[in-house]
Chain A
């Protein structure tokens, strides 16, 4: 399953007008406008995040995918959302989300930008996850088994790291662990068939495509 488009949002319905206004504010890097939209929406932080921020980030990711925006737009949009979430959720922490246990990792690389972008998208959608940081295949196998993770999101930058997902898949199979693998990063963009070759279940062409990928893999809300 390759995910790059912008499918309809399931779960809490997105508000098209709010999403559009937020998208525009984020691309302009207008923090004050984001705050104003939140206050005017009459929504709680989680609802605002799920119905406005997450779909806006999905649209921004989709526009990056189509070459209409740059990674700098995606990053700064994510940072503004991260600041909003950190502030708003400090006062109203979201309840532990039911469903599958999700973890996020970078496979053998010190460049963590992709992971951070995915983390922001997950937080904005109210999805709790375990942050494994940078890890080797062996460390991931151990952690996935220990934490009972059912979906592992893997960001890669270099081709050798992307190819190591195969080792991870084989290791999981040998241990009899059922864990969905969702991958993303430059090597998977450059070779659309690579994610199948390494045994991943889904591949995201941009950070915000993680939400539709999770919905599809979980058959609904993760």
Chain B
């Protein structure tokens, strides 16, 4: 099977030849090319070379065309702060006065140089791999983007105290998010991963999510012209599985606080589960621990298909060494072969 066939089989809740592996690597491409993180993301050709090099090295099943979340903040007037050893971070929130939301218009994707760099990278990657490997594009969900637009505190204040502005912001973000997602699909991405950490009950109560974030997510998903995944960026999901299913998403990226087998059972036949290796702990895994972690995740999540092995946060930290990534890939390839060891599945 090609990676695409493997992933599509898993997405249709059947067992492919082996468990698909998504190593969601971004910054490691810079190390692959011997560049600083800032320089790496400054040119789309670097990202094309980096992703292709990592695809060859690890033989995993996706190309992750995500640069960094703060590019979306840049599109809304914010800025990016680079560091030598971690993901670029969003600087001060661009919306300083919530009252301006009333007259705000969503930025145009093609007016934002950072977003255009991502599109160019996706074009180059699609030319290189065609339809053999899924190219995953990323957007921030309308409900979670305001953490960068306003700052978390101001956003929570808005959510509770200014419902009319909150509603307006969800409409603006939904329009931007779907335009940004569809631009990525047109450029070469096959599917869109929508990061929505605030949809997790750990962050926002499910009651509040249902009347704010959920309608915005549903509207956005309906406008995106390809399969979507929702990633909770390490957040628990069990309290919101039904809500996520009804947004129209096909997959959920899950954290490690909950039992993976329980998550799989709750999602069975409805959502493909993506996860849930702990990226922060991965930094210091020895061989034995890495193998045990991969085996455990496969044991709990993979029976019956509907599972893609990945990390729990949607981005593997810079500090994770290449030898650990190689071990994960090798173990997944060996231990993750269907039928699973012990006849499970």
Contacts and interface: CB of A to CB of B under 8 A. Distances in A.
A111 interface: yes
A163 B317 CA distance: 12
Contacts of B147: 111
Q: How large is the interface on B (under 10, 10 to 19, 20 to 34, 35 or more residues)?
A: 35 or more
A187 B319 CA distance: 13
A160 B318 contact: yes
Contacts of B236: 67
A161 B84 CA distance: 12
Interface string B28-68: 00000000000000000000000000000000000000000
A3 B93 CA distance: 32
B160 A190 contact: no
Contact of B278 (A75, A110, A160, A190): A190
A109 to B, nearest CB: 7
Given A113-B152, A113-B153, A159-B280, A70 B89 contact: no
Label chain A's interface by main secondary structure: helix
Contacts of B256: 190
Interface in A169-216: 186-187, 190-191, 194, 197
A67 B201 contact: yes
Q: How large is the interface on A (under 10, 10 to 19, 20 to 34, 35 or more residues)?
A: 20 to 34
A137 interface: no
B89 A158 contact: yes
B127 to A, nearest CB: 34
A75 B156 contact: yes
B278 to A, nearest CB: 6
A191 B203 contact: no
B202 A110 contact: no
B75 to A, nearest CB: 18
A191 B280 contact: yes
Interface string A73-84: 101100100000
B159 interface: yes
A109 B317 contact: no
Contacts of B280: 159, 187, 190-191, 194
A90 interface: no
B115 to A, nearest CB: 21
B152 A163 contact: no
A138 B317 CA distance: 24
Given A160-B86, A190-B278, A73 B319 contact: no
B205 interface: yes
A112 interface: yes
Contacts of B278: 190-191
A71 interface: yes
B86 to A, nearest CB: 3
A116 interface: yes
Interface string B273-291: 0000011110110000000
Nearest to A71: B203
Contact of B257 (A67, A70, A112): A67
Contacts of B296: none
A71 B89 CA distance: 22
Nearest to B156: A75
Interface string A109-122: 11111001000000
B230 interface: no
A72 interface: yes
A116 B202 contact: no
Contacts of A69: 205
Interface of A: 29, 64, 67, 69-73, 75-76, 79, 108-113, 116, 158-161, 163, 186-187, 190-191, 194, 197
26 contacts: A29-B160, A67-B201, A70-B201, A70-B202, A72-B159, A72-B160, A72-B203, A72-B205, A76-B160, A109-B89, A110-B92, A110-B151, A111-B151, A111-B152, A112-B151, A112-B152, A113-B151, A113-B153, A158-B89, A159-B317, A160-B83, A160-B86, A186-B234, A190-B278, A190-B281, A191-B281
Interface of B: 81, 83, 85-87, 89-93, 147, 151-153, 156-157, 159-160, 201-206, 208, 234, 236, 256-257, 278-281, 283-284, 313, 317-319
Given A112-B153, A159-B319, 16 more contacts: A29-B160, A67-B236, A69-B205, A72-B159, A72-B203, A72-B205, A73-B205, A76-B160, A110-B81, A110-B93, A111-B151, A112-B152, A113-B151, A160-B85, A187-B280, A190-B281
